[in-house]
């Protein structure tokens, strides 16, 4: 049975070991509305000569990818009810000259998160920061390259007070009156554990299949912190 929290339900678990190994889990999005799908590295004992990359595929279309080598790293995408999601994690060599006697393992979870409850912090495992740092390098694009379906992406960087803070973009509820303008909330989520007080830049990203937009507005609370014109790639 899936493990539940106030915001998310863990729908699958997996792991990878030696460099070159791959792992895949699948899930069908449930419920009457769209969900945020999050693939997260929950713990790792991989040798320092091995990293991990991850891809989220929705209805056969790769929509989100990234490095999840460090515990707590995650990638995410929105998916509509009934969408078929595949999460793929691949261990890769880092070619850094490190030699290990044992290989270790990286464990990950795939979670389905309610878009409304993502904004709450009722459990101690999900503390939302109330103050945002600087942001930079926002970019959004519609991918109209064949084959269909089309997909949409927006990325940016957010200054966070510790490496243990995740930057997440989720659709604002409710949206505005113009369907060509996407409204997103930036959430800064403190992960459990003890983290050094070290200011770092974290990527915030939002991806969606079968959607195109003209403009993106990013909010932190009730304040617009970025307005991004959307490019089209075709």
DSSP 183-219: EEEEEEEEPSS------EEEEEEEEEES---SEEEEE
- Spatial distance between the Cα atoms of 29 and 123, rounded to a whole number of angstroms: 24
Residue where a domain stops, chosen among 62, 87, 119: 119
- 114 shares its domain with 144: no
- 98 shares its domain with 150: no
- 89 shares its domain with 17: yes
* The model's pTM: 0.75
Domain enclosing residue 57, as ranges: 3-119
- 91 shares its domain with 166: no
Which pLDDT score, from 0 to 100, does residue 156 have?
94
Residue where a domain stops, chosen among 88, 119, 150: 119
Give me the number of domains the chain comprises. Answer: 2
Which pLDDT score, from 0 to 100, does residue 101 have?
79
DSSP code at position 117:
G
Residues in the chain where the model's pLDDT stays below 50: 1, 4-6, 121-125
Which pLDDT score, from 0 to 100, does residue 127 have?
60
Residue where a domain stops, chosen among 90, 119, 148: 119
- 99 shares its domain with 193: no
Contacts of 71 (CB under 8 A, 6+ apart): 41, 42, 43, 44
């Amino acid at each position: 049975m899936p493990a539940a929290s106030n915001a998310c339900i863990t729908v699958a678990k997996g792991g990878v070991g030696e460099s070159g190994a791959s792992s895949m889990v699948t899930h069908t999005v449930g419920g009457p509305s769209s969900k945020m799908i999050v693939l997260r590295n929950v713990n790792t004992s991989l040798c320092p000569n091995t990293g991990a990359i991850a891809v989220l595929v929705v209805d056969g279309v790769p929509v989100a990818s990234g490095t999840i080598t460090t515990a707590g790293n995650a990638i995410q995408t929105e998916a509509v009810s009934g969408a078929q999601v595949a999460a793929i994690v691949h261990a890769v060599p880092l070619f850094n000259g490190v030699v290990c006697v044992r290989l270790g393992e990286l464990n990950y979870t795939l979670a389905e998160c309610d878009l409304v409850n993502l904004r709450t912090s009722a459990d101690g495992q999900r503390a939302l920061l109330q103050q945002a740092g600087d942001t930079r390098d926002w970019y959004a694009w519609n991918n109209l390259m064949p084959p269909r379906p089309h997909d949409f992406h927006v990325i940016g960087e957010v200054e966070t007070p510790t490496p243990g803070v995740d930057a997440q973009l989720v659709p604002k509820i409710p949206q505005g009156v113009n369907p060509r303008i996407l409204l997103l909330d930036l959430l800064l989520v403190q992960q459990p554990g003890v983290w050094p007080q070290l200011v770092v830049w974290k990527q915030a990203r939002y991806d969606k299949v079968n959607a195109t937009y003209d403009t993106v507005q990013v909010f932190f609370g009730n304040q617009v912190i970025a307005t991004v014109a959307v490019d089209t790639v075709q």
